[in-house]
Amino acid sequence: MVEPISASAPVAAERAEPRAAPAARRWSQALDRALMTAVEICAAVLLLVEICVLLAGVICRYVLHAPLVWSDELAGMLFLWLSMLGAVLALRRGEHMRMTACVARLSPSRRAFVDTLANSASIAMLGLIMTPAYRYALDQVPILTPAMEISDGWRALALPVGTGLMLVVGLVRLAQVGRRRDIAIALAIAVALGALAVLAAPWFQTLGKANLLIFFVGVVAIGIFSGVPIGFSFALATFGYLSLTTATPLEVMVGRMDEGMSNLILLAVPLFVFLGLLIEMTGMARAMIAFLASLVGHVRGGLSYVLVGAMYLVSGISGSKVADMAAIAPVLFPEMKKRGADEGDLIALLATAGAQSETIPPSIVLITIGSVTGVSISALFTAGLLPGALLAVLLCAVVAWRYRKEDLSGARRTSRREIVRLMLSALPALILPVVIRTAVVEGIATATEVSTIGIVYAAAVGVLVYRQFAWRRLGRMLVSAATLSGAIIFIIGCATAMAWALTQSGFSQDLAALMAKMPGHSYGFLAISIVVFILLGSVLEGIPAIVLFGPLLFPIARAAGINEVHYAIVVVLAMGVGLFSPPFGVGYYSACAISKVDPDAGIRPIVGYMGALLAGLILVAAIPWLSVGFL
């Protein structure tokens, strides 16, 4: 006898489902904990070894004048393992870059289903590239490294191992979070789409360049707006395009991912991320902010000026705008609210200050541009300072106008003796950004090498000067740095493979021809580039956008007579504006989350600040001297 099922029966069944298989759930949780503990330990040890190896190389080269010929080679081999293990941790922690603006508007049940579908798409991508990654690693076995003379297969093995670990993590996460009904439907959709794609392969091969729209616009857009991590969306589209429309061996795709992830310049990413965490942990950021507040805290809008100045000073060192904002907002916002500042205005200024400081060295985006386009990183570091300062001045002008009637009855003017004391306290912290930027710009050390110097300096200052060094946090900081950098580097690898596929399809030649026909020649190209990168920055964030389109657009800019350094600064600022612009810019929502402010509160106040940023961006684009005048 079949009893009728009430409308609430499915919900009741879903609530009872975790109890139906407690043993399986406990087993998956135990596996998850053991696996993640092992990966965290390995990632933390690898990052620590990287720091030691690079520091030893710096000391031997510049102090002992006896360079270690194998240090860079060993660092490069370990770096790929660090990146893949970091990507595993990022997947487990949900820290891979993804767009959630559309998914967040769905009802809870629909959002849960879409999340399950997105997770299933990521798992499918990992399963598809697992075999090509293994074959690629086997192909690298006969190749010997020049200095250490060991098989390059040991380095390339990181790709299949990391992919396999991510596959396990994805499956465990799906089993723990997904509902059985959603999993079954997602599996059915995946199988149906896969079968349909295979059957349609002969038809795809007759479409020619129309496949670019299907895979690199359609598949990527559906993946990104459905909440699939950006890197996984890129990889899924590239795999589909190569496997269904070309005869290219899929090991080539893995090779391009390896190429994108193995650039030694990118080793600066985890090192600077760790340096940023050290700056926050040792109290150096707090000391800088306290000194700035003592200078202008008593004037109208004074703490807002401090916020802009602090973002200028610490920006780029951590490698994460989230980390930059998290170091500043908790220190300043309580006092600013006491003075009656509107929380919407605070969040708007924090977000736009994040966009303003995108070109401040040692910006990870600038390092990424240098790695994928060949532009001098020291030149980019020099070029980024003045445009960032210009945008800061324009933001301060808006602050001056908005706070011209601020009540300062509760403000206290800091005495000169106190200012001197705070300056002396902050001096070791203020020296660090100057040392880092000077060392790279003057050619004393590379961006990667100077990061190790900064780490040693920050640790020494924390222990000897500020006496704030929480040894217990060191392990978590290493893991956090590895996780964030793994998410960044994995996107770079996937975007590099996608950019290669686009180039091989002839898209770059078509794009060059189209851009060459733009009216206004160089200024027309700059104008369209600004619009494109603002849109890309709001959806993809800076790093994947620049890795994907940088190799395509920078040669066009060069052919149009635009200085590559100037063009780099313009597109970085444009991406920053997009990244922090509501309603799509994920940077804006990160600022809201850090400040615990409703995103709706900052929509109106941010208009004025964004107007200042756009005005500054237009000035920088129109006056190349602002970027290249000091080169």
Report the C-alpha gap between 250 and 172 in whole angstroms.
Answer: 27
> Could you identify the residue written with the tokens 């993590």?
169
Average pLDDT over residues 11-38: 64
Report the C-alpha gap between 59 and 12 in whole angstroms.
Answer: 65
Residue 161: pLDDT band by 50, 70, 90 thresholds? very high
536 near 276, Cβ under 8 Å?
A: no
Residue 318: pLDDT band by 50, 70, 90 thresholds? low
pLDDT in the model for residue 9: 36
Higher pLDDT, 473 or 303: 473
Higher pLDDT, 172 or 27: 172
pLDDT in the model for residue 287: 83
Is the bond preceding residue 362 a cis peptide, omega within 30 degrees? Answer: yes
Q: Which two tokens stand for residue 451?
A: 């990061």
> Could you identify the residue written with the tokens 């069944």?
13
Residue 136: pLDDT band by 50, 70, 90 thresholds? very high
Q: Across the chain, what does the average pLDDT equal? A: 81
DSSP label at residue 65: S
Average pLDDT over residues 345-365: 82
pLDDT in the model for residue 590: 67
Least Cα distance to 251 among 139, 85, 84 occurs for: 139
Beta bridge partners of 144: 151
**pLDDT tens digits, one per residue of 398-427:** 988 888 776 666 667 778 888 888 888 888
Q: Where are the domains of the chain?
A: 25-262, 266-628
**pLDDT tens digits, one per residue of 248-295:** 899 999 998 998 888 777 787 788 778 878 887 888 877 877 887 788
Residue 8: pLDDT band by 50, 70, 90 thresholds? very low
Q: Which of 58-72, 239-253, 579-593 has the lowest mean pLDDT?
A: 579-593
**pLDDT tens digits, one per residue of 378-390:** 888 888 889 989 9
Least Cα distance to 483 among 35, 85, 60 occurs for: 85
pLDDT in the model for residue 230: 81
Q: Which of 147-151, 336-340, 572-576 has the lowest mean pLDDT?
A: 336-340
Q: 5 burial class (0-12, 13-18, 19+ CB within 10 angstroms)?
A: exposed
pLDDT at 340 over 90: no
Taking phi first (over 0 means left), then psi (-120 to 50 degrees means alpha), and beta for anything else, what does residue 4 get?
beta
pLDDT in the model for residue 14: 39
Q: Give the torsion through C-alpha atoms of 61, 63, 64, 66, to 10 deg.
A: 10
Q: 397-400: long-range contacts (C-beta < 8 A, 24 or more apart)?
A: 397/612, 398/608, 398/609, 398/611, 398/612, 399/301, 399/304, 399/305, 399/308, 399/349, 400/300, 400/301
What is the percent of the chain where pLDDT is above 70?
A: 86
Beta bridge partners of 227: none
Higher pLDDT, 297 or 390: 390
Q: Where are the beta strands (DSSP E) in 332-462?
A: none
107 alpha carbon, distance to own chain's centre: 28
Report the C-alpha gap between 58 and 445 in whole angstroms.
Answer: 8
pLDDT in the model for residue 130: 93
pLDDT in the model for residue 581: 81
pLDDT in the model for residue 586: 64
